[in-house]
Amino acid sequence: MLNLRRKKVKEIEAKSIALWCKVRGGKDVIEPNKAQIAQSTKEIISEKLFEVADYAASNSLDLKNIDLESDILGKHIQKILNYSVGKSLGEEYQCKLKDKAVERAKHPSRSALNEATKGISLHINYWHFSVDSEKSDVLDIGLMLPKIEAVEELCLYLPIKLKENEILDITSLLKHNEISTAIFNENLSSQQYGTKDHYKLLKGDKYFCSLRSFLKNDINNGEEFGFRSAAGDDGVIISIKSEAIEKALPDKNGDGKAYFRLRVILDSKDKKDIFIRKDLPKDKYFVSGFEVTEYIDFRINETRLLPQSVQEEIEHLQGRDIIPVNRIDFLLATTPGADIKISGTSFHKSRYLEPNPWKKYLENGPEDIRKTIETGMVVYHWKSVAKLDKPIEDFLAFVKLRIRLSQSKKIAFYFLWVIVLGGVGSLLASLVYSFFGGES
């Protein structure tokens, strides 16, 4: 017997977005002098001390009470301190440290990349509103960027066929206190800073970050924003240049950070299929209700899924196949009626999404999106944080959604169609009877 309920998943090639830096000097290799090696040595020692302090803090250890002579952590600190004040260490340790310092001094662009990794954070929100392929989803991408002298621009590859005017700059939305507070989960307020579309966010009376809608201001001259097609692929590459960061920062010599937020409306089946695969039953047209299974597969910098041209550009401009960020936050918002299964070691938590302030955040989107927000959504949060000696190489968030759909409209249509057919049949019977029945 033929099984009408057998399901078939449409074969769609998996895709990955990508983020990388254009580092000044590219993959430069120099022959370092003594001063450069000494500077590299200091950097390594400082990083190790930071690593020790971070380890102590994360394990609730009090550095003041650690015995430098007996504790394992204390001995490690003692080695570092001995070297930093010129005391003798074992020959093996000295050789390893010198080799690392020389290697770092030979590749100054790697140090720049390490600095970028410490300061940049990436925020991605995927708003999945409906299993209906004709309805839109929304992809929001936020970047927190410090001023880094050695980084010329930050490049973002999206595996989506887009036009330049389909990249929306929504940075100015964060000037509304309730929206910035919701996005950063901090109690923030905003103040205008200088020119139009230029604001700074404050936490209490302390500076938090700067906002500037660079895309609206300079989209035509290309000094701050770049847009181009990826060679040999339908995707596009968006770049935020160092000029955009410098103009956004209120203090050119300070340690401020500039925040930018972009939006792409996924308003077609082809765009949504980049991240979502759908599994439908074959008998959906004959039943009053059925289950739809969706697989949301979101990846960042998965090398094997990137176009060859993007892989080559990452290798050429950055020199290392890593994501140049200290932290990634990925949030998936979807309807609460779905049965969900989550995978991925970076999953953090889930929560119910309050309608306010997100209605205002998405007020310029399609009307059906705003209605979905009002009925309530659930947010699933993945988080990945780089460690000192272990940068983030790639990122994956995978979700399986199972949603039950009813087809009351379709059943009503079938019912009306049966009535119409019955009426037509009765009329035909009457005509036949009147034509043939009167002759007898």
For residue 89, what pLDDT band results from cuts at 50, 70 and 90?
A: very low
d(CA 429, CA 68): 103
Other Cβ atoms within 10 Å of 70 Cβ, number: 8
Look-up: residue for tokens 């404050």?
202
d(CA 318, CA 117): 12
Distances in Å between the alpha carbon of 345 and those of 342, 383, 400?
A: 10, 9, 15
pLDDT tens-digit readout, 64-78: 555 545 555 555 555
pLDDT at 81 over 60: no
d(CA 296, CA 398): 6
Q: Which residues pair with 385 in a beta bridge?
A: 327
Per-residue pLDDT at 220:
46
Tokens of residue 54, six digits: 């971070």
Tokens of residue 336, six digits: 């609460």
Distances in Å between the alpha carbon of 429 and those of 42, 418, 437?
A: 99, 16, 11
pLDDT tens-digit readout, 324-341: 888 999 999 988 877 778
- Give the closest residue to 202 by CA, choosing from 177, 171, 170, 185: 177
Per-residue pLDDT at 245:
84
Tell me, what DSSP letter sits at residue 354? P
Residues 6+ apart with CB under 8 A from 298: 124, 126, 275, 330, 332, 396, 397, 398
pLDDT at 183 over 80: yes
Q: Which residues pair with 276 in a beta bridge?
A: 296
d(CA 77, CA 48): 9
For 436, the 3-state DSSP assignment is: helix
Mean pLDDT of 394-416: 71
Per-residue pLDDT at 94:
59
d(CA 97, CA 88): 13
d(CA 152, CA 361): 31
- Our measurement of the distance from residue 200's CA atom to the centroid of its chain's CA atoms, rounded to an integer in Å, reads 23
Q: Which amino acid is at 249?
A: L
Tokens of residue 24, six digits: 């000044």
Q: Which amino acid is at 256?
A: G
68, with CB counted inside 10 A (0-12, 13-18, 19+), is middle
pLDDT at 87 over 50: no
34-58 vs 72-84: helix axis angle to the nearest 10? Answer: 160
Q: Which amino acid is at 279?
A: D
pLDDT tens-digit readout, 339-392: 778 776 788 888 888 888 888 898 877 677 777 888 888 899 999 988 766 788
Residues 6+ apart with CB under 8 A from 248: 198, 210, 211, 212, 214, 258, 260
Put simply, whether the predicted model's pTM sits higher than 0.75 gets the answer no
- Give the closest residue to 198 by CA, choosing from 153, 251, 247, 257: 247
Mean confidence (pLDDT) of the chain: 76
- Pick from 13-22, 67-76, 194-203, 262-271: least confident: 67-76
Name which residue leads in pLDDT, 55 or 129: 129
d(CA 20, CA 233): 18
CA-CA-CA-CA dihedral for 282, 287, 289, 292, to nearest 10: 0
Name which residue leads in pLDDT, 114 or 4: 114
Tell me, what DSSP letter sits at residue 27? S
pLDDT tens-digit readout, 237-254: 999 888 888 888 866 556
Mean pLDDT of 269-294: 72
Per-residue pLDDT at 189:
93
